[in-house]
Structure 1
């Protein structure tokens, strides 16, 4: 649904009828995300308490599963009802992409828009303080937090910083994701080093040769686990000398993962949630062209800040709702409707989930 929404948002300028469909689809995504968060909280809570048994389910848990099943069926039915409308535009979307406009990559990249960054200055400053000094050994840093907190954006900001560019001779960005493929990661590193990546064996040794006399920064974005041994294989090719130090920045949702990869506890950074002003500024950047445009209407600003509060300071949530508001043409009744129907319990869930992940 998100992939289709990305395409429809690009086509809105030429196909106005897509606005209604994409807004309905966005609401359905919110509902699905809400349900997923419910399930994640339920799954994480027993783990945090050190007790879990799938053989002994309480009546409350059984009722929750029954209700979840009903909601899933309802979401599926709504999507099925939308499918005939969506299919009408699939051909148009394909034609749009074939004419030279490529869709966004599903995986992260080092590219970012500085104008869209809000509230991450102190995060970047702290991490830069760790990586700019020359270290005698390979230096590991972790950026950890729940999904949507801005971990990748912070890494992008650092990766593109002028001082960081001057500090390191080589900078490499590697999107890892849940199903890490060691061969693809090694090939990606070699390609960014402008080295021959056609070889099929001893790729770690080749990386070691290229980096042996250079300072380098490698960002491993969205690491979920190291269970299949991909990290052990890759780390062999990461040299460390006194004259040519290196730094590895790892973003992950799980603090134990970055620690297992060599990050000391004192070098784990956890981004904070946005405060009201930062959240309002971000909402304006997405819903309008600037904060100034949103501040010209005090009633709109009041509703917007209430929405930001309901988002719990989570950047991803603010961006998502901002995307929906962007099509409302600053209509106070429409903003008010979205504010009132926006699930207030999302903020509580975010706080609970953060507590569970950090405990």
Structure 2
């Protein structure tokens, strides 16, 4: 929506203000032509601004948008693989997209929300737009200091914003009638975040890293694998990673810190089992205050020996306290996939400040606030 926001404000806030239909991609699968959040607007005279598929389904969406403008009832359209035997529009790329279409009125409230969004984007302030996928959508803006007033969704929206993810949360068949009511309603809601995507930097090029890179990608993180050995650090071995870097990990981290590419949503997992990589990499990381999470794989004996080496390299106790090692929760697993689950579980638990205890042993609401 970032690209069409100036046009949206111009149409809604101009002298000839009039409603428009806003079409946004809320979900994708396969080789989709556009990413989640891709948007276009349609005016009452069928003027189209923006694109959701690069031309594959826009004509069909114009018809839907005009209907939504006429009756005001929001809908979600789904477009899949193009079938020459089916007259319905489809995607030639072989993917699938879900597109939400809603009527946007030039009201002071909606204009204020859009202007606040534009101000946040101009200032590089993390912000998310949460809108219910109901017949008459409700909109709320979420920042790091404020959350939507839904008791069962506020934490979910905040988590999406904190990790820079966009997507659908909640469940179907829940209408927002009283946002302050203490009910279990979790209305199906599209959250579009405008914030840096959470990063997962994995040091090492082994089977444990391969499993964790796949899981990190599934969790919506931008995954980077770093290893100095070109024979192991290959795209073929880590197909789910966003990037595979061949180079000394400590030098790569130093460059990323210098270029301000590391932040509070960056997690570092060192999984090399080799002191010539581990020690300089961890020293570089713990001596920086920018990482959100720093962990290292290994036994308790390995962790104790590594801590001693780090102290010898000038790392003080406060800096060493940032290191989580041995890495992962105690789930009893041993295989690369099981270890990856244990590490991912720890990343999730620490991000939420959760105790990582079995739910059946607890009491009260499952969804944390």
Same fold (TM over 0.5): no
TM-score normalised by length of structure 2: 0.24
TM-score normalised by length of structure 1: 0.25
Q: Which has the higher contact order (CA 8 A, sep 6+)?
A: 1
Structure in which a larger fraction of residues adopt strand: 2
